[in-house]
Amino acid sequence: MADIGYISLLLALGASLYSALAFVIGVRKRYPELVASARNSLLCVGGLVSLAALALVYALLTHDFQIESVAYYTSRDLPLIYTLSAFWAGNAGSLLFWAWLLSLFAAIVAMQNRGRNRELLPYAGSIMMATEAFFLILMIFLTNPFQKLLSTPAEGSGLNPLLENVGMIFHPPALLAGYVGLTVPFAFAMAALLSGRLGDDWMRSIRRWALLAWLLLGLGNLLGAQWAYVELGWGGYWSWDPVENAGLMPWLVATAFLHSAVIQRRRGMLKVWNMVLIMLAFNLSIFGTFLTRSGILSSVHTFSESAMGPFFLGFMGVVLLGSLILIYYHRQQLKSENELDSFVSRESAFLLNNLLLVGITFAILVGTIFPAISEAVRGVKIAVGTPFFNKVTGPVFLALILLMGICPLIGWRRARMNDLIRSFIYPLGTATIVGVVLFLGGIREWYALVAFSLCSFVISAILFDWFRGVRARHRVRSDNYLKAFLGLLWGNKPRYGGYIVHIAILLIATGVVGSSFYKMEKEVALAPGEAMTIKNYTLIYEGKTEKVTQSKLVTTATLSVFNGVEFIGTMTPEKYFHRSYQQPVTEVALRSTLLEDLYVVLGGWTADGTTTFKVLVNPLVSWIWMGGGFLFLGGLIAFWPDKRERR
Amino acid sequence: MIRRKRFLIGGIVILLAVAYLGYRGFEGSATYYLTVSEVKEQGGRIAGENVRVNGRVAPGSVDWDAENNILRFVLVDEEKGLSVLYKGIVPDAFKADSNVVVEGGLESDGIFHADAILTRCPSKYAPEE
């Protein structure tokens, strides 16, 4: 099986290189046959890489421990679903997953555009196949997913037990699919430049791809955050780790692009800027793939020591330089068709949103690679921590939320003063009331106060605008309100899907602000029968039990939990010791309500039974996960095909 | 053209504001990122400063006092070793012979008092060769 997989990869490399060249030559010299053959070759790559992927799946399922990536990440007692998730547990496997998805996406693009975009598709196909070839080269020459061990071990090492969590089944593929998805918009942007067809065709072709990639990245990040929260047991969900930043940065740039693309479609402006954004998003997704796979970027040395480092750096350099040269070369054709009419207009609000998103992405990038930069410049490694990221991004995120509220209230081109006053009065009123109520309710942290008021401003602005639309429809068509509401939503899916996404962001922001400013944390050592209190909760330690299962030793501590004097249940934080893996796994006990989470971690214990716990009260965390649900819903609505678009 | 210039100035002001935020944030959270040998060489010069140290947990050096929740171990690189003391919940991925980053400061007793132990994201672990 390993040989079939490896040979498929070799053949796929040949086919992808041929396809990349034949597309360009065929379209330049006007040989339709050559273009058709390149297209067939592209479809072949999809088949070959799928074959390789299936070979790895087969090897995983049959416990073929001769293959390194099977022996290192699985064992016979691993449940089936985690055996499959071991596909992307290792470096080589996740590169194969990348290449597989890209080959499938490329095939879908080729099918979708059958008989359409005759000028664009060959170039786009060529770019996608060149990227595919890059990943195939990495696998063939550097980290072969089908690498054989010299001797076949009787049993594999098993998956790291921390990865045996539902989140880990969905988080990596979602994030990787998001990274890969950004290749398609990039390929079409470059195709537009190379073919000189810089009209609206390419923008229309990629809108849904960009949206899909953005949605997958967003969900991938949230799933990762949730995994960290329930599995890692330090009480938080985001720590500005380089790996987390690597997933966030392309998402931020893709967000900027989704907004500025609207301006290009409606007003013919920001064309160069959009090209740059797509290129940045793609490059950041390549960077993210590298960072996720290579570990902490603690030093320039780790970058060059890792065999893949120079390859990735080179590829990113080629992408960056190549696309900048192309953009410069076509700058005349990329001139704006319009100028901004006024500061107070939706265009300038979108522009501001873009600047802020790209600004924080840059700040996060600098923070992430700062150890490497400072070492190269001054010879000392200096790292920046969480406070840096919080201080930079916090105020910018607040400004972005404010813009989110202002946007629906002001018109395109130039807003009229009277309209402005009429639209702003309700949202501003709501924000003021919420601010005052929270202040009287004891919220004195000015940042939280501002953030919560802003969120209520935005939500009422969105609802106000939505309500205006529904009322107009109700009056004109005499539909009832529900029908008018649904008709409006379905009639303009990108817009109202976008509003739902904005509501999702508000929920997430509220959760983040609440849990950052009002978190409580205590570490205690309790003997059985002793109690501790945190906020309004009292926890009584009842004792611990031990249980031996086939694969692990489970220690369970039982605590009775009281809210005030009312008994609300028991909580059982656990610790697992796996036989096959030299590492304990802490299972957090979590009691989640809309208002706050009670989060209990079992630390350790002594022979006499004294046990240490870490207990946290995290307010509003469940709002973040609710926001994730809204993000998915809104993204899906915006993504849903529109009859008008199909044509 | 004048309008364009005004927008350009607006953009620059915003980017400068972000840069300023970055500068302020940097002042508050920059830490030296050192290896064990570098800490040993610097010695007293970095006393009291917040630093991050990258190293390997020396096998057999881990001593955990469960009652007081205090963890002691020796962090090593190719050349030298550094005694580390940490109070708190030990991360799951912490184990002997694994790579960790500790954040904290070198105290006058020559022991590194860590406020945090950062382990690598478990998805990046390859098993020991």
Contact B14 A352 (CB under 8 A): yes
- What pLDDT score was predicted for residue B121? 56
**In this model, does residue A647 exceed pLDDT 50?**
no
Greatest mean pLDDT range, A93-102, B3-12, B55-64: A93-102
Structure confidence by residue, pLDDT tens digits, B112-121? 999 888 876 5
Taking CA atoms, A230 is separated from A88, A164, A597, in Å, by 21, 12, 11
- What pLDDT score was predicted for residue A641? 86
The mean pLDDT value for A565-574 works out to 95
The mean pLDDT value for A213-227 works out to 95
Contact B7 A348 (CB under 8 A): yes
**Which is higher by pLDDT, A510 or A296?**
A510
Nearest-neighbour CA in chain A from B1: distance (Å): 9
CA atoms lying within 13 Å on the CB side of residue B105: 10
Architecture of the structural domain at A1-164: Up-down Bundle (1.20)
Burial of A475 (0-12, 13-18, 19+ CB in 10 A): exposed
The mean pLDDT value for A122-133 works out to 97
Which residues, listed in sequence order, are joined to residue B76 by a DSSP beta bridge? Answer: B56, B81
Rounded to 5°, the CA angle A279-A294-A71 comes to 125
- What pLDDT score was predicted for residue A414? 66
Secondary structure class of A90 (helix, strand, coil):
coil
- Mutation target to probe the B interface, by most B beta carbons within 10 A, among A88, A150, A160, A397 is A160
- What pLDDT score was predicted for residue B68? 77
Lowest mean pLDDT among A7-16, A98-107, A610-619: A610-619
**In this model, does residue A17 exceed pLDDT 50?**
yes
Which residues, listed in sequence order, are joined to residue B119 by a DSSP beta bridge? Answer: B100
Listed by start position, the domains of chain A span: 1-164, 165-327+344-385, 416-518+624-646, 520-619
**Helices in A295-445 by DSSP H: which ranges?**
300-305, 308-329, 346-378, 386-406, 417-440
- pLDDT band, very low/low/confident/very high, at B128 (cuts 50, 70, 90): very low
Question: Smallest Cβ distance to A601: which of B33, B89, B95?
Answer: B89
| Cβ–Cβ contact A382 with B under 8 A | yes
Contacts of A243 in chain B (CB under 8 A): 121, 124
The mean pLDDT value for A193-205 works out to 88
Nearest-neighbour CA in chain B from A322: distance (Å): 26
Taking CA atoms, A412 is separated from A345, A370, A416, A473, A515, in Å, by 5, 40, 10, 21, 37
- Nearest-angstrom CA–CA distance, A324 and A264: 19
Question: Smallest Cβ distance to B127: which of A72, A366, A614?
Answer: A72
- What pLDDT score was predicted for residue A644? 58
Contacts of B120 in chain A (CB under 8 A): 295-296
Lowest mean pLDDT among A323-337, A444-458, A576-590: A576-590
- Nearest-angstrom CA–CA distance, A319 and A131: 10
Contacts of B29 in chain A (CB under 8 A): 384-388, 391
Lowest mean pLDDT among A19-28, A580-589, B87-96, B116-125: B116-125
**In this model, does residue A218 exceed pLDDT 70?**
yes
Structure confidence by residue, pLDDT tens digits, B82-98? 999 998 888 887 888 88
The mean pLDDT value for A3-27 works out to 96
The model carries a pTM of 0.93
| Cβ–Cβ contact A160 with B under 8 A | yes
| Cβ–Cβ contact B21 with A under 8 A | yes
- What pLDDT score was predicted for residue A415? 65
- What pLDDT score was predicted for residue B93? 78
- What pLDDT score was predicted for residue A158? 83
Greatest mean pLDDT range, A362-376, A406-420, A426-440, B79-93: A426-440
| Cβ–Cβ contact B62 with A under 8 A | no
Greatest mean pLDDT range, A539-548, A599-608, B49-58, B64-73: A539-548
Lowest mean pLDDT among A22-36, A254-268, A379-393, A427-441: A379-393
| Cβ–Cβ contact A421 with B under 8 A | no
- What pLDDT score was predicted for residue B3? 66
- Nearest-angstrom CA–CA distance, A291 and A312: 10
What is the chain A residue with the closest CA to B22? A392
| Cβ–Cβ contact A352 with B under 8 A | yes
- pLDDT band, very low/low/confident/very high, at A147 (cuts 50, 70, 90): very high
**In this model, does residue A99 exceed pLDDT 90?**
yes
Altogether, the residues listed in chain A come to a count of 647
Question: Smallest Cβ distance to B26: which of A293, A388, A390?
Answer: A388
Give residues 58 to 77 of A whose Cβ lies within 8 Å of B: 72
- What pLDDT score was predicted for residue B126? 42
Lowest mean pLDDT among A116-120, A448-452, A510-514, A519-523: A116-120
Structure confidence by residue, pLDDT tens digits, B3-55? 677 778 888 888 888 888 888 888 878 888 888 888 888 877 777 788 888 88
- Nearest-angstrom CA–CA distance, A406 and A344: 10
- Nearest-angstrom CA–CA distance, B65 and A377: 42
Rounded to 5°, the CA angle A50-A55-A57 comes to 95
**Which is higher by pLDDT, A33 or A377?**
A33
Burial of B48 (0-12, 13-18, 19+ CB in 10 A): exposed
The mean pLDDT value for A433-451 works out to 93
Structure confidence by residue, pLDDT tens digits, A521-551? 998 999 999 999 999 999 999 999 999 987 7
The mean pLDDT value for A167-179 works out to 92
Provide the percentage of residues in chain A whose pLDDT is more than 90. 64
Segments of A501-551 assigned E as strands: 520-526, 531-534, 537-548
The mean pLDDT value for A622-632 works out to 97
| Cβ–Cβ contact A383 with B under 8 A | yes
- What pLDDT score was predicted for residue A382? 86
- Nearest-angstrom CA–CA distance, A31 and A34: 5
Q: Name the class of domain B31-124.
A: mainly beta
| Cβ–Cβ contact A525 with B under 8 A | yes
Structure confidence by residue, pLDDT tens digits, A472-493? 999 988 888 899 999 999 988 9
What is the chain B residue with the closest CA to A605? B66
Provide the percentage of residues in chain A whose pLDDT is more than 70. 96
| Cβ–Cβ contact A583 with B under 8 A | yes
